[in-house]
Chains A and B, each alone.
Chain A
Amino acid sequence: MILPAVMLLVFFTGSAAQPKAGYIAVPGGEYTVGKKNYPNNPVRTVKVRRYFIAVYETTNRQFAAFVQATAYVTDAERSHDALVFRPGLKEFQWISDSTACWRYPNGVGAGGIDHKMDHPVTCISYHDILQYCTWAGVRLPTLDEWEIACRAGTKTDYFFGNDAEQIGQYANIWHGRNHLVADSSDGYMYTAPVGSFKPNPWGLYDMYGNVFEFCNGKINASESGSIAHARGGSWWCSKNACNFFNSYDIGRVNIHASFSNQGFRVAQSN
């Protein structure tokens, strides 16, 4: 089912449902998700109700409004245990920075977000995000909803096909061979302003890269309650390490962990 975002918006404009600013509407129905010969996320047909999903990842500006309204204190601000990245670290190595939090995603030393209000909010945990969603009257997409929106009707590894070399047009990722040396070859070492790269066929930006996007749901019922899942890869991810900037991989992280490459986009049911 390939429905460009414009068609979706026209569809809903002409029906009882009204399009929501900043969202695309995904019609209810059956969709194909998963990857062939990929037991973690096998090809299957799933049925979903109509939902709306945000065009952009949630920004620092949006999260700041939540904090201003609620005086909410994030996990990282409370526990001082956010994990940050600096060039020179080995693959998959992150370091704890007691000063890091959403206001200082890579620690006070790396600067704040004053000039990055249109970047995705990071250094927030799944637990923090649930509080934001409650306040904002939104929710996280489910794992299937995220994939349906990301795929935009495609069945390939990427929404642009299977040619991994095109990823740089669509995603803020790490292009370096490793993480020992800084990589800003695409203009950004850390996060980029949301919408800086080309969107997917439905008009959704940053479905790959920029930040891992938390989703609701479990891969199987036996999973620990301490695990949350996030998808789409991040600015840190490279083809040699991680490589999760695709339509099928599903990451996992502790629900209270705060990393500077974790963020989210929201969804709504109505």
Chain B
Amino acid sequence: MKIGIPFLALTMLSAYCATGQDTLGGKSPSKESHDYDLYRLQSSYPPYGLQKVQEMVRNLKLHDDTVGFGAKRTLSQKAYLSLSLREKFTYHMIFPESYSQNCSMMPPIPDEQDKIFAELPEAFGEYNWSDRQTKFFLANRDSVIQLMRECIAKDKQVGLNFKHVIVDISAREMIPLLISFYNGHKRDHDLLTVLMLLMSESEYDQFLLSASYKKLYADPDASYKSFLIFNTANEALILKRATDFYNGLHP
């Protein structure tokens, strides 16, 4: 399994070099911030039938060849059904079938490496998962979790696409793995975001009552651009809350 940056995410990055509540003051982002932004956008590429799936994607026919560049391509139902579950997992993880909204991209913010964001950045730029794809993740939740575990263990990376799926299917079972992985690497603050989103999604009382939750998700002015300053206290608090939350699920 390779880790890479989706080609569309690169496009998005070049188009939207900086904005947000916290602006750059007209300056370019620092190299550290820029590098961290690239790091955040990395996706995981599952190994299961990867070459086969990539070849199928390359050979997709457009719905209508006359409509020109950029038309959405979707694997036919027949071709899709011919894939094994593991191959479907790979297909969904690397090839979003639908579109994303005009304003849904996360505007880059200065000193990204020093922030813990309320939300994750987009995984696929102008594209997004289709209903068929999100339903697959939900319908095969246990398998999807297991496959992500395997990939994370092998690659030592939790790609942005994985993070979105973890949140979308509310994979609370993965909290110990996420915490362990975070403690082993420390760099990926979006893992803290994932933990907060899992607690928020589950309406975990101790998190809903916290100042962090209020600032990120409940204040009248809280938005998808909101963030906490990264420091050891905030980091420790999120990890402790997530641990307590998980332990409460499995007393």
Distance of A79 Cα from B127 Cα, bound (Å) = 16
A242 and B103: CB pair below 8 A?
A: yes
Q: Which A residues from 223 to 245 make CB contacts under 8 A with B?
A: 223-227, 230, 233-234, 236-237, 239-244
Distance of A81 Cα from B98 Cα, bound (Å) = 8
Distance of A79 Cα from B130 Cα, bound (Å) = 13
Distance of A132 Cα from B227 Cα, bound (Å) = 42
Residue of A nearest to B68 (CB): A127
B23 and A38: CB pair below 8 A?
A: yes
In the complex, A15 has a CB within 8 A of chain B: no
A256 and B72: CB pair below 8 A?
A: yes
**Which of B8, B14, B102 counts the most chain A CB atoms within 10 A?**
B102
In the complex, B159 has a CB within 8 A of chain A: no
In the complex, A266 has a CB within 8 A of chain B: no
In the complex, B54 has a CB within 8 A of chain A: no
Q: Which B residues from 183 to 238 make CB contacts under 8 A with A?
A: 220-224
A223 and B126: CB pair below 8 A?
A: no
A224 and B70: CB pair below 8 A?
A: yes
Distance of A95 Cα from B133 Cα, bound (Å) = 12
Q: Which one of A227, A233, A237, A249 lies within 8 Å of B11 (CB-CB)?
A: A227
Encoded as 1 (CB less than 8 Å from any B CB) or 0, chain A from 158 to 180 comes to 00000000000000000001000
Residue of A nearest to B28 (CB): A39
Distance of A233 Cα from B104 Cα, bound (Å) = 11
B19 and A220: CB pair below 8 A?
A: no
Please, which residues of chain A bring their CB within 8 A of the CB of B17? 39-40
Q: Which one of B18, B103, B131 lies within 8 Å of A233 (CB-CB)?
A: B103
**How far in angstroms is the closest Cβ of chain B from A156?**
16
Total interface residues in chain A, CB < 8 Å: 49
B24 and A255: CB pair below 8 A?
A: no
Residue of B nearest to A241 (CB): B224
B224 and A240: CB pair below 8 A?
A: yes
A78 and B64: CB pair below 8 A?
A: yes
**Which of A96, A212, A257 counts the most chain B CB atoms within 10 A?**
A257
13 CB contacts below 8 A, A to B, read A75-B67, A78-B64, A81-B99, A83-B99, A92-B101, A92-B104, A94-B101, A96-B131, A212-B102, A240-B223, A243-B223, A252-B15, A259-B101
Residues of A within 8 A of B (CB): 36-40, 42, 75, 78-79, 81, 83, 91-92, 94-96, 127, 177, 212, 219-220, 222-227, 230, 233-234, 236-237, 239-244, 249, 251-257, 259, 261-262
Residues of B within 8 A of A (CB): 8, 11-12, 14-19, 23-26, 28, 63-64, 67-72, 98-105, 107, 119, 126-127, 130-131, 220-224
A-B pairs, 7 with minimum CB distance: A226-B70, A251-B102, A257-B99, A242-B103, A92-B104, A39-B18, A244-B103
